[in-house]
Structure 1
Amino acid sequence: METNNTNYSFRKAEMADAAKVWEIIAQAIERRRRDGSTQWQDGYPNPTSIQNDIADGWGYVIEIGSEIAAYCALIFDMEPAYEKIEGKWHSDGPYAVLHRMAVSDAFAGQGLAKAIFREAEKTVLQSGIKTIKVDTNFDNAAMLSILKSLGYQYRGEVYFRGSARKAFEKTLME
């Protein structure tokens, strides 16, 4: 589904956004639990994770009007867990990583998850990087569907905190 609201902005998160971002992440944690997923059910992410994202310049939000509607961490640094993959990455060059993506319950079903991926991809290209990598839990059906629809290719399994995660990669075109 394409976003019903094209009047949004994508911007770096500020520390003043941390409480609202955490509220959105907490909603997503509960959504994962209700869906029967094990993803994000172990105390991570947490408010400190979000504050660290923002302090490191990795946090981004989609804002509609003056309300934060979605969040992601867009990281322009190596992801240590991606160095050991059961499978094979297509690209060995520089890459960006999308982590901790969530949409507010108030904006769910409006296509903002895809919008945040598209905005992240534009930001990555503008930085001169041509590859974005992401992972998700095997039981996160919504995210698996989004990744497939946006052309992300399954590359194998990576491990976070002892659990296998499905790893995906997309080569970006200008």
Structure 2
Amino acid sequence: MAPYQFRQANPTDLPLIWEILQQAIMRRKADGSNQWQDGYPNPAVIQKDIEQGHGFVLIEKDTVVGYSAVIINHEPAYAAIEGKWLTNADFVVVHRVAIAVTHLGKGLAQKILEYVADFTRQNHIYSIKADTNFDNPAMIKVFEKLGYSYCGEVYFRGSPRKAYEKVLTYK
């Protein structure tokens, strides 16, 4: 059995997902970041992710160790990019990537993005778009390491975010 699995979240995962996100929110605050310091994300956002089939968990053995939202073709804020996307075709958006504090430093954010790339290809889509705060060097480093291209800025709740895209190749 592979050490990690990536699957759709279900309602029983919500408490663990929220715990992981609260840890990430506290880490961002401790780092002096403004990201996730305005009441977002919150349990209602995660519940909506799960209900809409967008919530995904990274599992190690039987334990939820990471979370992300994976959405096909829907991010209204991306239409108003200050810059230019690499493609204008179908895309997958990844949001709210968070890793349990007990599993930091193991490359699991990268692992989530690799699973998202697999999911994207399985859906015959070849573009992943994502964004992060300017003051989130760890996520920026993951995007750059995985070959995402910086495309410009997008805005969420009035704040600018660095926008990235990766065009996938056929496997």
Bucket of the pairwise TM-score, normalised by the shorter protein: over 0.9
Q: Matched residues in 2 for 1:77 and 1:52: separation?
A: 17
Unaligned runs of 5+ in 2: none
User: Post-superposition shift, 1:77?
Assistant: 2.8
Detail structure 1 runs of 4+ shifted over 4 Å in the superposition: none
| Letter matched to residue 41 of structure 1 | Q
Q: Matched residues in 2 for 1:143 and 1:121: separation?
A: 16
| Letter matched to residue 83 of structure 1 | A
1:85 aligns with 2:103: no
Partner of 1:15: 11
User: Post-superposition shift, 1:75?
Assistant: 0.3
CA RMSD of aligned residues (A): 0.7
Partner of 2:151: 155
% identical aligned pairs: 49
TM-score, length-scaled by structure 2: 0.97
Partner of 1:131: 127
Task: Note the 1:38-53 alignment, pairs <5 A.
Answer: 38-53=34-49
What do residues 6-48 of structure 1 show as CA deviations (whole Å, max 9, x unaligned)?
A: 6111111001000100000000000000111110000000000
User: Post-superposition shift, 1:65?
Assistant: 1.1
What do residues 99-127 of structure 1 show as CA deviations (whole Å, max 9, x unaligned)?
A: 00000001111111100000011001100
Q: Matched residues in 2 for 1:173 and 1:54: separation?
A: 29
Q: Matched residues in 1 for 2:94 and 2:87: separation?
A: 16
Q: Matched residues in 1 for 2:91 and 2:4: separation?
A: 26
Q: Matched residues in 1 for 2:72 and 2:8: separation?
A: 13
| Letter matched to residue 89 of structure 1 | W
1:54 aligns with 2:50: yes
Partner of 2:99: 103
Unaligned runs of 5+ in 1: 1-5
TM-score, length-scaled by structure 1: 0.96
Task: Pick the aligned partner of 1:168 from 146, 159, 164.
Answer: 164
Q: What is the number of equivalent residue pairs in this alignment?
A: 169
